[in-house]
Amino acid sequence: MRIVLLEPEIPQNTGSIARLAAATDTALDLIGPLGFSLEDRYLKRAGLDYWPFVQLRVYESWRDYLDRSVKAGSGTPRIVAFSARASQPYTRCRFSSDDLLLFGKETKGLPRAILNELSESLYTIPIQNKGVRSLNLSNAVSIIVYEARRQLGLLD
């Protein structure tokens, strides 16, 4: 399983997600363009001293990611995408150990083309209060990673 962030913009969110990735031994893929430098002090501070434990890969673009990561591997892993605009709740997803968990940028989410392409494997985290548009990216990633780990029996 890999956490995949498409064009993340806020270094503190990515740093928190990197800490989650280290804590759960889950690989992290960052797809650019990034909204910050990997040397950003906020990114490093949010990830604390856990960066050496992060299995990190960085890609220049979505196309680069598809070419180098998804198509290059043996077999084709499933991309499971998450969006506030999806209608199917994440609780209906049956995760597998080689899933790529895709999340969009903080301000815009996933582009429409990707939403359309991945419509069969597109899920949302339900929000009860209609006045709230979305969750913080690092919170959303945490919910999904721990649900996937629960389903896979990796919480013991």
Token pair for 62: 């979505």
**In angstroms, rounded to a whole number, what is the distance separating the alpha carbons of residues 74 and 13?**
31
The 3-state DSSP class for residue 29 equals strand
pTM of the model as a whole: 0.93
Please classify residue 92 by burial: count the beta carbons closer than 10 Å to its beta carbon, then call 0-12 exposed, 13-18 middle and 19+ buried: exposed
What confidence tens digit (pLDDT) does each residue in 51-109 have? 889 999 999 999 999 998 876 555 778 999 999 999 999 999 999 999 999 999 999 99
Fold of 2-151: Alpha/beta knot (3.40.1280)
pLDDT, residue 37, reads 86
pLDDT, residue 28, reads 97
**Mean pLDDT, residues 123-146 taken together:** 96
CA dihedral 144, 129, 14, 66 (to 10 degrees): 60
Confidence of residue 137 (pLDDT cuts 50, 70, 90): very high
**In angstroms, rounded to a whole number, what is the distance separating the alpha carbons of residues 83 and 103?**
7
pLDDT for 18 beyond 70: yes
pLDDT, residue 50, reads 86
pLDDT for 153 beyond 90: yes
Q: What are the two backbone dihedrals, phi and then psi, of residue 26, each rounded to the nearest 5 degrees?
A: -110, 130
pLDDT, residue 36, reads 86
Domain ranges of the chain: 2-151
**In angstroms, rounded to a whole number, what is the distance separating the alpha carbons of residues 115 and 26?**
24
Alpha helices in the chain (DSSP H): 11-24, 41-47, 62-65, 112-117, 137-151
Provide the percentage of residues in the chain whose pLDDT is more than 70. 96
**In angstroms, rounded to a whole number, what is the distance separating the alpha carbons of residues 6 and 79?**
12
